[in-house]
Amino acid sequence: MTDYFHLNAAPDEIRAISSLGLAHLGDGVFELMVRSWLCLRGKATARGLHRAAVQYVAAPAQAAAAGRILPVLTEEEADVFRRGRNASPHSIPQHASRAEYQAATGLESLFGWLYLRGETGRLNQLFALMMEE
């Protein structure tokens, strides 16, 4: 049985996934991390949690967060980010510019890629850098 919480997918399996596929997965990984982070910081009501989470997972916030980690990415991580950023999305949300949405997609691709590789330590490291005040 596959343990979907502790993945360590083979490099060939990961390469077979499109950048937008990685972004789809990474979106969920990032949102779970944000929700966990909020819960551990005392957000109590479901409404408060949802509103706070939306502020962090929206494309403009993700783009700003991506800017904070770009200088510390390895060459391989930066390549994954660039491929995700340069992927052609089907549409762009009204509340984000094209550049913000592309940067957010790059971030999500990177998080999906790291998750599939089982690199939870690196995910936590990057997430901590993004969430610093």
Active-site position among 3, 12, 27, 79: 27
Q: Exposed, middle or buried by CB within 10 Å (0-12, 13-18, 19+), for 62? A: buried
Question: Is 27 assigned a catalytic role?
Answer: yes
Distance separating alpha carbons of residues 4 and 20, to the nearest angstrom: 19
Check if the beta carbon of residue 68 is closer than 8 Å to that of residue 130: yes
List active site positions. Answer: 27
